[in-house]
Amino acid sequence: MPLSHWRVRFADDAQEYTLQTVVETMPYVEDPLPEQERAEIRTQVQHLTVTAEEAGQRLDNFIHKRLGDMPRSRIYRVIRKGEVRVNGRRAGPEQRLAAEDRIRIPPVRLPAPGEPLRPAAGLLKRIEAAIIREDPRLLVLDKPAGVAVHGGSGVSSGVIEALRALKPGESLELVHRLDRDTSGVLLVARNTATLRTLHALLREEGFEKRYLALLAGKWNLGEKRVDVPLRTDTRVGGERTVRADPSGKASVSRFRPVQFFGRTATLVEVEIDTGRTHQIRVHAAHAGHPVAGDEKYGDQGFNERLRALGLTRMFLHASSLSFQWPEGGEFSVNTPLPADLAAVLERLAADPKAPVMAGRSPRSAARRRAR
């Protein structure tokens, strides 16, 4: 498979870095994942007790393990309607369960047994090719854009359903999530103990997650920490919409310019201390520089200009992830910028207005230190 390269450089007060990305020519294509018609059965009320092995799981994941053929969107709906009870009380999908918690699952409709719903062959092939590392605890993927991490919201299958079909008998669970339109590093736990360990690290902000994003306009804010709470529970026209709000959950993103493309756009590296839904997209828009290709929070005129340069999706890529295992040892993985995004940067760089490289001169750095 042919390879192309995209190199960008950036500097800080101490030293200069070079970021080299090697990309495979893999076009961004959305797999058609039509829902299949199947007979349904109605289950009985289930009363379950959380075991010590299951403790620490989110409620939505606990329910999904028992109703695996039920789309996530329907699971969330049942939980939010208050039909699922934890120790006799309503609970949110993100609630962590403790050993001996009593869970009530209401009657629901599920596909009839004996008619397994297998993901499309094209999706299976793409996800198998996306696996970049395997060990006894984890599967690491370079998730392609256009593929949901799980079924629901109009798609019958996503990454996790495809992996379970490829590796039957394994207890696979998503460690974290990426938006459907976002590419890059995605971790999948191969056992419950690993899932619990990594979820604890996520809660303690023990992950270092970095993204590459192309933003509208020239970023003049330098290295910027955006500490803006986000409300992730609002809906507009039935669609989830995240907004900056003092009553929201604490959310922190750190933006660092990598390369300027005149006044048109800026390539930035973003490190997130928290992992809220749509966090980078909302924080970037809040700072006045929305993500290129973002149809929900972005700038329509800017998106149209980038489409003319070949951008067919949101320019957001999960480029690296690292953490320390509690028992010792570092985990680190990097994924290259996909070819479709690298091509957009090349076209931007070819503009008659030569891009200005990000970074500070030693003289300006010395002045700042003197102040």
Determine which one of 179, 294, 299, 340 is catalytic. Answer: 179
Q: What is the DSSP letter of 167?
A: S
Q: Tokens for 351, please give them.
A: 């503009």
Nearest residue to 251 (alpha-carbon basis) of 221, 277, 215: 277
What is the C-alpha separation between 298 and 175, in angstroms, rounded? 28
Neighbours of 93 (CB within 10 A): 18
According to DSSP, residue 228 is labeled -
Q: Can you tell me whether residue 344 is helix, strand or coil?
A: helix
Which is nearest to 103 in space by CA: 57, 56, 144, 63?
63
- Give catalytic status of residue 179 as yes or no: yes
Query: What span, in angstroms and rounded, lies between the C-alpha atoms of 349 and 335?
Result: 22
Chain-centre distance for alpha carbon 109: 29
> β-pairing, 89-90 with 85-86?
antiparallel
Are the C-beta atoms of 162 and 119 separated by less than 8 Å? yes
Task: Report which of 10, 6, 40 is spatially closest to residue 258, judged by C-alpha positions.
Answer: 10
The tokens describing 270, both together, are 């973003």
How far apart are the C-alpha atoms of 147 and 178, rounded to whole Å? 10
The answer to whether the CB of 78 falls within 8 A of the CB of 36 is no
What whole-number distance in Å separates Cα of residue 247 and Cα of residue 18?
40
Helix and strand totals (H; E) in the chain: 9, 20
Nearest residue to 227 (alpha-carbon basis) of 287, 297, 182, 292: 287
Amino acid at 214: L
Only one residue has tokens 């919201």, namely: 153
Locate tokens 């040892």: which residue? Answer: 329
In which residue are the tokens 């390269």 written? Answer: 5
Active-site positions read 179
